[in-house]
């Protein structure tokens, strides 16, 4: 049965984190560079999931939506790293950091060059410049993301590469609609993001005037917290793929079947 209140979701979150923590330590294999990038993403996702417990307890609906989206976006990065060859995936992923850092330094230099040069060491700038040249030579002019793909395109790719979930071939694309889209609305403070996560309460006073107050919208909080949990279990799934922990695919299918489909565990 799908949990439909904060306490029920928290129980499932704690159960999931306990299973996750029991997986470690994990032995690295031949493709350690790729596995290293994937486990870093998953470790950050674990910390974020732990933070969601605190946010949900304190009724922080919008922040819960933003962090759920963050976990899901990390899942997409992990999935793409998993299926791309290391020379294309890991190398491109790492060098894109230099591309972005060089962009920041260059921008700062046009404003306050002396300050920028105090923040960024000459050796760092040389590395960024070298990596940026290599990136452009190998992969072309940088786009807005390291992969050059949109989030929905990565979802479609992962749906092709991975087994169906609860009889659907569009698990990741569906999550994109539920997690990424609504999380983006919360991040960018669009009207949809505000109204999904905040309730406006109006109280009439004895003199006929009204006062307003606001609180987290419980419906939005439950939605965001639940989808943060689903995204984290997807992160565990990809960790299993990367480290050849076969049991994690079965665990993923069973947990998602229970949480979304209502099947018995």
Q: Evaluate whether residue 94 is within a structural domain.
A: no
Do 242 and 167 reside in the same domain of the chain? Answer: yes
Asked if 170 and 141 sit in the same domain, the reply is no
Residue 264 inside a domain? The answer is no
Taking Cα atoms as reference points, which of 94, 101, 144 lies closest to residue 126? Answer: 101
Has residue 221 got a pLDDT over 90? yes
Mean pLDDT of the chain: 93
Q: Which residues pair with 165 in a beta bridge?
A: 168
State the pLDDT at residue 1. Answer: 59
The reply to whether 177 falls in a domain is yes
Q: Are 52 and 13 in contact (CB under 8 A)?
A: yes
Check residues 154 and 199 and name the one with the higher pLDDT. 154
Same domain, 202 and 164: yes
SS3 198: strand
CA atoms of 82 and 93, how far apart (whole Å) = 12
Does 216 fall in a domain? yes
pLDDT score for 224? 96
Same domain, 106 and 176: no
- Alpha-carbon distance of 107 to 101, in angstroms, equals 10
Residue 142 CA to residue 78 CA, distance in Å, equals 20
pLDDT band at residue 178 under the 50/70/90 scheme? very high
Where residue 196 falls among pLDDT bands split at 50, 70, 90? confident
Percentage of the chain with pLDDT > 70?
98
Residue range(s) defining the domain that contains residue 252: 6-84+150-259
- Does residue 20 lie within any of the structural domains? yes
pLDDT computed for residue 14 by the predictor: 98
Span 125-166, pLDDT tens digits: 999 999 999 999 999 999 999 999 999 999 999 999 999 999
Q: What tokens does 18 get?
A: 């306990």
Q: What's the pLDDT band for 212 if we cut at 50, 70, 90?
A: confident
Does residue 154 share a domain with residue 141? no
Are the C-beta atoms of 14 and 231 separated by less than 8 Å?
A: no
- Residue 25, in any domain of the structure: yes
Asked if pLDDT for residue 19 goes beyond 70, the answer is yes
* Ramachandran angles phi, psi of 217, nearest 5°: -80, 115
Q: Mark whether 164 and 69 lie in a shared domain.
A: yes
Please tell me the total count of domains within the chain: 2
Look at residue 141 and tell me if it is in a domain.
yes
Task: Verify that 63 and 117 share a domain, yes or no.
Answer: no
């Amino acid at each position: 049965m799908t949990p439909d209140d904060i306490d029920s979701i928290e129980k499932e979150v704690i159960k999931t984190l306990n299973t996750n923590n029991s997986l470690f330590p994990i032995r690295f294999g031949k493709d350690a560079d790729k596995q290293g990038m994937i486990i870093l993403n998953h470790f950050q996702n674990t910390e974020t999931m732990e933070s969601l417990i605190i946010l949900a307890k304190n009724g922080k609906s919008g922040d819960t939506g933003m962090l759920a989206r963050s976990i899901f976006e990390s899942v997409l990065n992990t999935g793409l790293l998993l299926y791309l060859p290391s020379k294309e995936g890991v190398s491109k992923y790492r060098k894109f950091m230099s591309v972005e850092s060089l962009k920041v330094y260059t921008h700062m230099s046009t404003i306050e060059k002396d300050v920028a040069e105090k923040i960024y060491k000459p050796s760092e700038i040389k590395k960024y410049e070298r990596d940026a040249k290599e990136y452009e030579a190998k992969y072309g002019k940088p786009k807005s993301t390291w992969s050059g793909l949109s989030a929905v395109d990565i979802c479609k790719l992962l749906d092709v590469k991975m087994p169906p979930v609860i009889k659907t071939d569009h698990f990741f694309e569906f999550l994109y609609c539920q997690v990424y889209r609504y999380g983006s609305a919360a991040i960018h403070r669009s009207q949809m993001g505000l109204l999904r996560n905040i309730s406006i309460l109006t109280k009439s006073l004895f003199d006929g005037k009204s006062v307003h107050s606001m609180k987290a919208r419980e419906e939005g909080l439950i939605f965001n917290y639940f989808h943060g949990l689903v995204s984290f279990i997807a992160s565990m799934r990809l960790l299993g793929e990367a480290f050849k922990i076969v049991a994690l695919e079965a665990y993923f299918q069973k947990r998602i079947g229970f949480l979304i489909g209502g099947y018995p565990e």
